[in-house]
């Protein structure tokens, strides 16, 4: 029996060493590498299990994504070239080119935009546009719940499918784990094409647990599109446990819908292996000519570059007056943290809004040390108290804004498939600024919360320990 124990120990040590070598060879950020080393060293057995589920990098999908992106870009490129009198604002020309050089994210003018700050505003608009659909509806979401709201949306999609409208739905397999299989089967039985993104079948596809499609995109007839932070779930209307959910979503009408269409169809090719490039999915915009310029920017773990993260860094480091940010989870990467502190120390009015109370306690603990780091540099931190603020937005200098699915954390910047709309339009920037300032009225300044600024030694020690795991959360 004693020999068995020694043999088991020897095998375990070999496995640990092999896994550690693999972690090192992934060449991730040192902080992330060290986090995994700590987990593997100090959490026996469980550490290996966690790594196989959440730590493995996957690049094999890159070729699939690149092929579909190359093909789909050809179609949107034609529409981009045909734009007349396209003017790129001088102050953001480099940022626009940055996105274009990364994966041919093209800017489009001639757009109309409507911003929603609650489910009561967004879902009636979504259902109204679904009801108007004549050719196709494309829905890409992290969560679609089988609750009353999810049933209403499903009924609306089924009704259009019965009318002969093409309906395609992508949902994230992990994000929608709680949704019953029969919910999707009912839609499929009515002719709706429904696919799960990276379906997980333990233990075969364990590495896929960590890479999730967090995008929230809807395209109707190639003319109207939605993007933002809201999933298809009742919580955005009713809240959870008496805690209201605040979020931001945007409707885009016009040429920028080409970018939303491209983002959806790239995902569609990945889940279905069906490449859709027909011009009918890129109709001529009916919006009157205007200078409302929008880029639809996506990022993913299959990309060579962290597109949205680099965009945030560029905005922060080039700001002259202010940068206002909202995020439900604040676990910033080193480049983001450095850019925030640099901007604040340069005299830029940097404001960060996070929830007073989050839905994930361990993230809240890990976040506190990062928050206090930014405060030392002069960042003003506000805690939203009128519910759980799930909004993801940024606005700077009354001239640029972004709304989308991206949180300011490691997961969004490195592990998840995300999508944001970047607006180079003063009118939209001022609207987003107003959204932030109205939310600020429902906040308390961090320095006024004594239990956060005057914590015991044990509290600070615990938060510092949890921070070590922040790249993995």
Catalytic machinery residues: 214, 216, 221, 390, 392, 397
List of residues 6+ apart from 287 with CB closer than 8 A:
110, 111, 112, 253, 254, 255
Q: How many Å apart are CA 297 and CA 419, to the nearest integer?
A: 6
CA distance 329 to 313: 17
Alpha carbon distance 161, 147 (integer Å): 21
Q: Which residues contact 83 (CB under 8 A, 6 or more apart)?
A: 108, 109, 110, 255
The arrangement of strands across the sheet holding 322-326 comes to 107-108, 293-299, 418-424, 400-404, 393-396, 322-326, 349-355, 380-384, 443-445
d(CA 27, CA 332): 19
Distance set, CA 465 to CA 359, 368, 442 (Å): 20, 12, 31
Residues facing 232 on adjacent strands: 144
Nearest residue to 329 via CA among 360, 297, 375, 298: 360
State the Cα–Cα distance between residues 443 and 356, nearest whole angstrom. 8
Supply the DSSP string of 424-447, one letter for each residue.
Answer: E-HHHHHHHHHHHHHHHTTEEEGG
Residue 116 CB neighbours (<10 A): 22
Selection from 411, 422, 471 nearest residue 214 by Cα = 411
- C-alpha distance from residue 59 to each of 63, 152, 211 (Å): 8, 37, 11
Task: Calculate the CA 117 to chain-centre distance.
Answer: 17
**The pair of three-digit structure tokens given for residue 326, joined into one six-digit string:** 């909202």
CA distance 324 to 328: 14
In this structure, are residues 38 and 20 in contact, taking their beta carbons and an 8 Å threshold? Answer: no
Are the beta carbons of 260 and 416 closer than 8 angstroms? Answer: no
CA angle 453-384-126, nearest 5°? 155
| Strand-pair category, 349-355 with 380-384 | parallel
């Amino acid at each position: 029996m004693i020999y068995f124990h020694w043999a088991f120990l020897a095998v375990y040590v070999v496995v640990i060493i092999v896994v550690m070598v693999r972690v090192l060879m992934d060449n991730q950020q040192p902080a992330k590498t060290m986090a995994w080393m700590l987990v593997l060293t100090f959490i026996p057995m469980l550490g290996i299990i966690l790594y196989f589920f959440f730590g493995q990098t996957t690049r094999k999908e890159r070729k699939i994504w690149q092929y579909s992106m190359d093909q789909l870009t050809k179609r949107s490129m034609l529409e981009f070239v045909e734009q007349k009198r396209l003017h790129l604002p001088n102050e953001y020309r480099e940022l626009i080119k940055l996105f274009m050089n990364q994966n041919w994210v093209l800017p489009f003018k001639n757009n109309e935009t409507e911003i929603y700050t609650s489910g009561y505003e967004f879902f009636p608009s979504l259902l109204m546009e679904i009801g108007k659909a004549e050719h196709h509806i494309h829905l890409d979401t992290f969560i679609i719940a089988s609750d009353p709201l999810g049933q209403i949306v499903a009924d609306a999609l089924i009704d259009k499918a019965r009318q002969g409208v093409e309906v395609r739905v992508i949902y994230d397999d992990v994000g929608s784990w709680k949704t019953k299989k029969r919910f999707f089967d009912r839609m499929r039985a009515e002719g709706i094409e429904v696919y799960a993104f990276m379906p997980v079948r333990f233990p075969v596809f364990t590495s896929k647990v960590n890479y999730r499609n967090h995008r929230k995109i809807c395209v109707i007839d190639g003319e109207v599109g939605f993007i933002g932070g809201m999933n298809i779930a009742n919580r955005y209307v009713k809240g959870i446990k008496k805690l209201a959910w605040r979020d931001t979503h945007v409707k885009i009408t016009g040429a920028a819908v080409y970018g939303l269409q491209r983002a959806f169809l790239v995902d569609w090719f990945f889940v279905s292996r069906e490449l859709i490039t027909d011009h009918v999915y890129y109709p001529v915009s009916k919006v009157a000519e205007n200078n409302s310029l929008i880029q639809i920017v996506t990022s993913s773990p299959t990309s060579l570059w962290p597109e949205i993260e680099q965009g945030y860094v560029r905005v922060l480091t080039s700001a002259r007056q202010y940068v206002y940010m909202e995020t439900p989870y604040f676990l910033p990467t080193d480049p983001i943290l450095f850019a925030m502190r640099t901007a604040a120390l340069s005299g830029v009015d940097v404001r960060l809004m996070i929830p007073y109370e989050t839905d994930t306690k361990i993230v809240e603990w890990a976040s506190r040390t990062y928050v206090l780091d930014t405060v030392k540099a002069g960042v003003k931190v506000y805690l939203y108290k009128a519910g759980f603020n799930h909004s993801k937005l940024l606005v700077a200098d009354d001239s640029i804004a972004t709304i989308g699915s991206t949180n300011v954390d490691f997961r969004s910047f490195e592990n998840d498939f995300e999508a944001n709309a970047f607006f180079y339009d003063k009118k939209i920037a001022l609207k987003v600024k107003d959204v932030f300032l109205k939310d600020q009225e429902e906040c308390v300044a961090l320095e006024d919360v004594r239990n956060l600024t005057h914590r015991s030694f044990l509290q600070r020690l615990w938060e510092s320990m949890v921070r070590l795991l922040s790249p993995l959360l």
